[in-house]
Amino acid sequence: MIAGPCAIESRAQIDLTAKFVASAGAQMVRGGAYKPRTSPYAFQGLGEEGVKLIADACANAGLPAVVEALAEAQLLVLEWYVDMIQIGARNMQNFALLQAAARTMKPILLKRAPFATLDEVLYAAEYILLEGNPNVVLCERGVRGFDPQTRNLFDLGGALRLKELTHLPVIADPSHATGRVSLIEPLVLAAAAAGLDGAIVEVHPEPSVALSDAEQALDFEAFSRLMRRLDALRGTLELKPKLTALK
Ligand code: PEP
Ligand code: MN
């Protein structure tokens, strides 16, 4: 489980969140410092300052950090301060960025673009592997649909098909897939029950004042309930389907 705010907003916000998600059982903290916002007038993230804040917060919480890179120039900062580099949906086919990120030799969290076929996801991953970096985690974060009731269409079938096609771990991002707090817990549980390898969710100490993606951020109570239910489910998961890559 990777959890944390959409954007790093302040020292207090990221410290509090990292500590909380660690105590609730998360394995890794997320937080955006360079934000790919649809509108150039929206909050763009704290940049390098944000990266330093999440590095401190994670050192205190005892968990590794994952932060998105939007551009090659940011990799110098990210490779110094964070443990995993996220390539976001909008950059899945930014091949020069994929190669440069791969060469940091940090593990890469590669998100599926909302328009990408599974073959395109796999070729994007190959750009990283071909640089000699074997540590790629794929992430299903919803593809563009036709119904505004959910932000995107969460393609669980596609994510499971990826598991059949590759040895790489595949995780679910129901926060960006649905854009709705109420759907995040059930989809994390569905993904776990179906055999995906993990999830990344947005968590904020006070979602109503979050500077980005406020409507999809879990508060601390909702996140700890999710972790308890996930634990309970995993107790029953000898049921877990064995999904193995076709060799
Ligand atoms: C994010 O994880 O904050 C993000 C921007 O996600 P995506 O690239 O999937 O939209
Ligand atoms: Mn977000």
SS3 at position 162: helix
pLDDT at 109 (0 to 100): 99
User: Which atom of ligand 1 is nearest the CA belonging to 89?
Assistant: 8
Q: What pLDDT, on the 0 to 100 scale, is given for residue 164?
A: 98
State residue 240's pLDDT score: 57
Rounded distance from Cα 238 to ligand 1 centre (Å): 32
What's the pTM?
Answer: 0.95
Cα(215) to ligand 2 centroid in Å equals 10
State the distance between the two ends of the chain, measured CA to CA, in whole angstroms: 27
Residue-level length of the chain: 247
Check residue 235 and give its pLDDT. Answer: 85
Contacts of 55 (CB under 8 A, 6+ apart): 65, 81, 82
Residues with CB under 6 A from ligand 1: 6, 32, 36, 88-90, 111, 141, 173, 176
Best residue among 6, 137, 152 to mutate for probing ligand 1, ranked by most atoms within 8 Å of CB: 6
Q: Which of the listed residues 109, 115, 176 should we mutate to test ligand 1's pocket, taking the one with most ligand atoms within 8 A of CB?
A: 176
CA of 226 to the centre of ligand 2 (A): 19
| Beta carbons within 8 Å of 179's beta carbon, 6+ residues apart | 150, 151, 152, 213, 215, 216
- Taking the C-alpha atoms of residue 53 and residue 184, their distance in angstroms, rounded to an integer, is 26
Per-chain residues with Cβ under 5 A from ion ligand 2:
6, 213
Measured by CA distance, the residue closest to atom 3 of ligand 1 is 6
Burial of 129 (0-12, 13-18, 19+ CB in 10 A): middle
Ordered by start, the domain boundaries in the chain are 2-246
Rounded to 5°, angle at Cα 110 from 228 and 226: 10
- Token pair, residue 152, equals 């995107």
pLDDT score for 247? 44
pLDDT score recorded for residue 100: 98
The full DSSP string for 209-223 is: G-SS-GGG-B-HHHH
The token pair at 198 is 């993990």
* Pairwise CA distance, residues 138 & 161, whole Å: 12
Which amino acid residue places its CA nearest to atom 6 of ligand 1?
88
234 token code pair: 């995993």
Residue 79 and residue 90: Cα distance in Å, rounded? 21
CA 51 to ligand 2 center in whole angstroms = 16
- The closest alpha carbon to 106, from 52, 58, 66, belongs to 66
Ligand 1 atom 4, closest CA: 88
Sequence-distant (≥ 6) Cβ neighbours of residue 194 within 8 angstroms: 156, 160, 241
Fold of 2-246: TIM Barrel (3.20.20)
Residue 47 and residue 29: Cα distance in Å, rounded? 17
The ligand that comes nearest to the alpha carbon of residue 90 is: 1
* Residues in the chain with pLDDT values less than 50: 247
> Tokens for 86?
């996220």
Tell me the three state secondary structure of residue 108.
strand
CA of 202 to the centre of ligand 2 (A): 7
pLDDT at 236: 84
